[in-house]
Structure 1
Amino acid sequence: MKTILAATSALAMLAGGAMAQELNIYNWGNYTNPALIEKFEAETGIKVTVTDYDSNDTALAKVKAGGHGFDIVVPSATYVPIWINEGLLLETRPDQMENGGNIDPAWMDVDWDPGRHYTVPWQWGTTGVVVNTKYYDGDIDTSGIFMDPPEELAGKINVVPEMGDVMGLAIMYYGGEPCTNDMELLKQVRDGLVEAKKSWLGMDYGNIEKFAKEDLWAGVNWNGSTFRMRLANEDIAYGYPKEGFVVWMDSVAVLKDAQNPEEAKTFQNFIMDPENAALISDFARYANGITGSDAFMPDDMKTAREINIPDELKGKGVFLPTCDPETQAIYSRIWTDLQK
């Protein structure tokens, strides 16, 4: 009898363990579709917790500090090599997963993760400017909106706290190329940003509601986020700086010290299903890198200016490279000055 009871208890513990499967996702704020998580939980029985961050640097610092408890992170392309080189990511081989063949060939053999050994496409988009056209009727396709703010917009400008994007836009505004180490040009960038900041209201993340309610009128922002603002306020428009704008991709990676690596791999495979990838885009309003997802995407994304770059500006988009450590350190010092 004792043997039977012991066996029964062991089975109960195993069953309880299966029921207690967990996954802890560390992602950008307001970027994860609750419907996607609900579907994943229903199909897999894995309980998901999502924790938000507001920048690539925030996420990297938090994980490097240890004791975070996260399984998954969603870094931008310029940061993926840093995560890999720091030994922070698990090589999960998404290219060999059941749904790995759904990755769009254009996003498969990428510089930051050749052959997709670590990461799965989440979403991709651009960084430009947002303007409420009720308060400004000038040219919005310029980084001058935040670098040389029009008088009408001063004091109502917000710049997202993402160093790579803001530095990239500012460098291109002054005629340079991302990752330049031209100190004369970088001094111009530094001085220009510090002076421009006098006309900004803040450098905050997650401002969809503030723009919709017209507490903010302009600034640096991402295209999908701006799309969501416009859906709430028709006067909001997205501009592609003619001096150069940023193109980016965020990808899902599993942390090397993940407590739930198998569950994390299951999630990577899950989001490479076209219908699930479309759920990601339907919420945050960015394109994704999964072939076949278009059939499930909202119709309004097919014609939206925020998603479809105007032909005359397509050549102005720049996919940011990963800067060498020395150059990155210079940018970090400029960024620190800007935060003061």
Structure 2
Amino acid sequence: MKKLFAAASVLALGATGAMAQELNIYNWGNYTNPKLIEKFEAETGIDVTITDYDSNDTALAKVKAGGHGFDIVVPSATYVPIWISEGLLEETRPDQMENFSNMDPVWIDVPWDEGRHYTVPWQWGTTGVAVNTKYYDGDIDTSAIFMDPPEELKGKINVVPEMGDVMGLAIMYYGGEPCTNDKEILKQVRDGLVEAKKSWLGMDYGNIEKFAKEDVWAGVNWNGSTFRMRLANENIAYGYPKEGYVVWMDSVAVLKDAQNMEEAKTFQNFIMKPENAALISEFARYANGIKGSEEFMPEDMKTAREINIPEELKDKGTFLPTCDPDTQALYTRIWTDLQK
């Protein structure tokens, strides 16, 4: 009887352990390589479920509402301080993890997570413009593509509805600095965006297929996404606005109320391994923050304009800071007007 009881106890523990081997990731849509997840599951025995979101604001609102069931989220740099200040993230100390030595030093002491106590790099890139050069052969390194659209592109422009990126590009187009609260500049931004929108087709995410099929000819877009468009349609090109473009990084963070805390930490450590970080980049076509990952990446990423910023435009990129609440409120009002 004792042996039978002991065996039953072992089975129960085993079942409990198996049930605990889960991980629920909340990430941007079309941003996670299935190969990465397959490898993680095979090496760790942890079953992964991925749920998509389409914006930083969507993710933040969902988690703040509670009852979400997620363990990991992937916010952009400007939002990480908000997540931390709201008490939504666990201080997992990636800087003390085994694979932390692989992180590129340039991404360690960052303003949004000094020393990396909460987050691990996922991918970084730029926000600029995508243009189908079959329909437009002018200068593409300018935000005029969507702010003062050329005649041949009107009605065929899509602007991704990401407030921080679009506001950042528009503010720099009018000569301002990100997070400015200069009323004259913000009036120009508001009026300029509202007027420009009359020439846009829409404000949507997930436009790789639309660009590839030439339903959309130009618009605000991210570099890696544009790279994927070009692989499907050779006429697509990526422009870095000379008036100023946005540089960003998305990072993996663990939620304070994660039900699978150790599994989440295991994932953070896992993606700091160069060959695993390379899988992330191979799919979404953005750079990551892990040293040595380059040698595992596809050859075409080493020379692609979308990844390699032209020398003369390198100093035009700006990492968006986290704006103070009052300034953010001003931007939200402008954004609300734009959505009308």
- Tell me what 2:35 maps to: 35
- Give the drift of 1:6: 3.0
The aligned runs of 1:36-115 (5 Å cut-off) are: 36-115=36-115
**Distance in 2, Cα, partners of 1:299 & 1:59:** 33
Question: Structure 2 counterpart of 1:147, which letter?
Answer: M
- Post-superposition Cα deviations, 1:117-140, rounded to whole Å, max 9, x if no partner, equal 000000000000000001111110
Give the CA RMSD over aligned residues: 0.8
Are positions 1:203 and 2:200 aligned together?
A: no
The equivalent of 2:11 in structure 1 is 12
- Secondary structure at the aligned position of 1:278 is classed as helix
**Pairwise mapping of residues 234-245 of structure 1 onto structure 2 (< 5 A)?**
234-245=234-245
**Which residue is equivalent to 1:268?**
268
Supply the distance in 2 between the matched residues of 1:16 and 1:201 (Cα, whole angstroms). Answer: 53
TM-score of the pair, normalised by structure 2: 0.99
1:127 aligned counterpart, secondary structure: strand
Query: Which runs of structure 2 are paired with 1:78-227 in the superposition (5 Å)?
Result: 78-227=78-227
Name the amino acid aligned to 1:151.
E
Stretches (4+) displaced over 6 A: none
Q: Match of 1:289, SS?
A: coil
Higher deviation after alignment, 143-152 or 6-15: 6-15
Structure 1 SS opposite 2:201: strand
CA distance in 1, matches of 2:263, 2:325: 33
SS at match of 1:124: strand
Equivalents in 2 of 1:327, 1:160: separation in Å? Answer: 21
**C-alpha displacement of 1:337:** 1.1
Identity of aligned residues (%): 86
Question: Which consecutive unaligned segments of at least 5 residues does structure 1 have?
Answer: none
State the one-letter code of the partner of 1:111. Answer: P
Contact residue 24 and residue 49 of structure 1 kept, 8 A: yes
Q: Which amino acid aligns with 2:174?
A: Y
Unaligned runs of 5+ in 2: none
Cα distance in 1 for partners of 2:201, 2:305 equals: 26
Letter in 2 for 1:64: K
Counterpart CA distance in 1 for 2:13 and 2:190 is 58
Q: How many residues align?
A: 339
Aligned to 1:87, the other structure's residue is in SS state coil
Residues 315-334 of structure 1 mapped to structure 2, 5 A cutoff? 315-334=315-334
In structure 2, distance between residues paired with 1:16 and 1:76? 37
Q: Which moved more, 1:251-260 or 1:13-22?
A: 13-22
SS in structure 2 at match of 1:198: helix
Give the superposition deviation at 1:336.
1.1
